[in-house]
């Protein structure tokens, strides 16, 4: 049976979980035909799952949940997934504290947090499962400048105070023929702990030719700019502030109708598109060496000079227990993730994400099936 993923279904999600009140009332799911009869999701286990974390994947999660509801309704089961886009750091913290069933995070859980997560999972390791790929936009609000070109070095200097005017010679050199105003740049950065910030700062370490010296991490280290909470927060701040610039997931830049800079990775300017981001993702490798954990090694693409590859891409993970769930929770987590990894990917490109490559789907499905 073909069903429409629609705003009405998202209303069911919101009505069914009070925790979604914190997420806002945006309807970000696209109307996409879903072949419910072809889904391998079992819709078994407990009726309602709880999750929190990455705001970068909020729009994708809306789509996953509405699709899952449609699939399970067709199978005679009422289900819900309450997802609060409270930030990657908060999601990992809540997961460790056993307050939610799984977490969304733009950075893999590791180190001390991974050890704490294993305790939460009854001695079993937590797995990082990449479910959503999203290019990060360098989004800006500059009247009369529609095709801005930046590179790793100029982006770094904008966000550490090394460049403060839009007509700085370094920006002008990348934008021959453009009329750049003699006006101040207003950087907007994430005020909350964010995997997006971590990934952007890792990109700047790799691509800025030494201009970024303050390190990476989930908290912004550049020392300049106004802070705003969440992906929606920084996008809204730039939309309302002439001369502003931020880093934000492509879906949020699109939603707020922001201009997006092209990035010159050394082989000429590259526009952010599904194809250019996909070209960069194809070069990603798994950092993990075995088991069901699928942590990615994305560092190799941040400094890529491959022609036509948009290098600023992050993967959003679902952090799950590899074992240790009760039977009902395990069944529900596996069922939801199975749906999200398959029919849930339909239409993600319309929201600024890059659907999972087939090779990732196959490996991801193996890990989902292995959850205990």
Phi, psi (rounded to 5 degrees) for 89? -60, -45
Quick one: tokens of 261? 């800079």
pLDDT attached to residue 321: 98
| pLDDT at 289 (0 to 100) | 62
d(CA 127, CA 269) in angstroms, rounded, equals: 36
HSE-CB at 21 with a 13 A cutoff on CA atoms is 3
Domains 2-132+316-369 and 136-281 share a fold: yes
Q: Return the closest-CA partner of residue 311 out of 350, 258, 272.
A: 272
CA distances from 51 to 72, 203, 320 (A): 19, 28, 10
pLDDT at 243: 98
Name the residue among 65, 71, 143, 61 with its Cα closest to residue 104.
61
CA dihedral 22, 28, 31, 36 (to 10 degrees): -50
**Counting Cβ atoms within 10 Å, is residue 162 exposed (0-12), middle (13-18) or buried (19+)?**
middle
What beta strand segments (E) does the chain contain?
2-4, 33-35, 48-53, 80-84, 102-105, 126-140, 149-151, 186-190, 226-228, 244-249, 259-260, 262-264, 269-270, 285-286, 296-297, 313-321
Give the per-residue pLDDT at 25: 30
**Residue where the block lists tokens 């307050």:** 99
Which residues share a beta bridge with 2?
Answer: 35
Q: What is the pLDDT of residue 285?
A: 78
Q: Are strands 244-249 and 186-190 parallel, antiparallel or unpaired?
A: parallel
Residue 215 near residue 205 (C-beta atoms within 8 A): yes
Model confidence pLDDT, tens digit, residues 32-60: 467 778 899 999 999 999 999 998 899 89
Domain ranges within the chain, ordered by starting residue: 2-132+316-369, 136-281
Please give the pLDDT value at position 33: 64
Instruction: Determine the length of the chain.
Output: 372
CA dihedral 167, 170, 173, 177 (to 10 degrees): -10
Q: Which residues of the chain have pLDDT under 50?
A: 1-32
Instruction: For domain 2-132+316-369, give the fold.
Output: D-Maltodextrin-Binding Protein; domain 2 (3.40.190)
Rg, C-alpha atoms of the chain: 20
Residue with tokens 């939801």: 336
Predicted local distance difference test score (pLDDT) of residue 349: 86
- Per-residue pLDDT at 37: 80
For residue 88, what are the CA distances in angstroms to 59, 65, 145, 223, 251? 15, 19, 33, 21, 17
55 in helix, strand or coil?
Answer: coil
Cα distance between residue 284 and residue 302, in whole Å: 10
Topology (CATH) of 136-281: D-Maltodextrin-Binding Protein; domain 2 (3.40.190)
Instruction: List the one residue out of 58, 78, 64, 60 whose CA is nearest residue 34.
Output: 64
Alpha-carbon span 367 to 19, nearest angstrom: 28
Could you report the per-residue pLDDT of 265-285, keeping only the tens digit for each?
999 999 999 889 888 877 777
């Amino acid at each position: 049976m073909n069903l429409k993923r629609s705003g009405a279904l998202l209303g069911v999600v919101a009505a069914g979980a009070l925790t979604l009140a914190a997420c806002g009332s945006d309807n970000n799911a696209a109307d996409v035909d879903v072949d419910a009869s072809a889904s391998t999701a079992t819709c078994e286990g407990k009726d309602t799952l709880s999750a929190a974390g990455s705001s970068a994947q909020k729009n994708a999660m809306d789509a996953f949940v509405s699709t899952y509801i449609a699939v399970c309704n067709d199978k005679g089961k009422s289900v819900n997934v309450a997802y609060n886009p409270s930030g990657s750091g908060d999601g990992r913290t809540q997961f460790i504290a056993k307050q939610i069933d799984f977490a969304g995070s733009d950075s893999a859980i590791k180190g001390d947090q991974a050890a704490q997560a294993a305790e939460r999972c009854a001695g079993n390791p937590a797995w990082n499962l990449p479910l959503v790929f999203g290019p990060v936009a360098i989004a800006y609000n500059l009247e009369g400048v529609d095709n801005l070109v930046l590179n790793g070095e100029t982006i770094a200097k904008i966000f550490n105070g090394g460049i403060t005017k839009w007509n700085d010679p370094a920006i002008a050199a990348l934008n021959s023929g453009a009329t750049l105003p003699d006006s101040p740049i207003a950087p907007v950065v994430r005020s909350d702990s964010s995997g997006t910030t971590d990934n952007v700062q890792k990109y700047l370490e790799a691509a800025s030719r030494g201009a970024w010296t303050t390190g990476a991490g989930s908290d912004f280290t550049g020392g300049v700019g106004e802070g705003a909470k969440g992906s929606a927060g920084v996008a809204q701040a730039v939309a309302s502030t002439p001369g502003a610039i931020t880093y934000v997931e492509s879906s949020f830049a699109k939603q707020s109708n922001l201009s997006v800079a092209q990035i010159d990775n050394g082989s000429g300017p590259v526009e952010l598109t599904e194809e250019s981001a996909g070209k960069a993702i194809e070069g990603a490798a798994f950092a993990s060496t075995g088991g069901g954990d699928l942590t990615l090694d994305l560092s190799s693409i941040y400094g890529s000079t491959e022609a036509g590859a948009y290098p600023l891409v992050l993967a959003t993970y679902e952090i799950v227990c590899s074992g240790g769930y009760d039977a009902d929770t395990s069944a529900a987590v596996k069922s939801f993730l199975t749906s999200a990894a398959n029919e849930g990917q339909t239409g993600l490109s319309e929201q600024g994400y890059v659907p999972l490559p087939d090779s990732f789907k196959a490996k991801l499905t193996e890990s989902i099936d292995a959850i205990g």
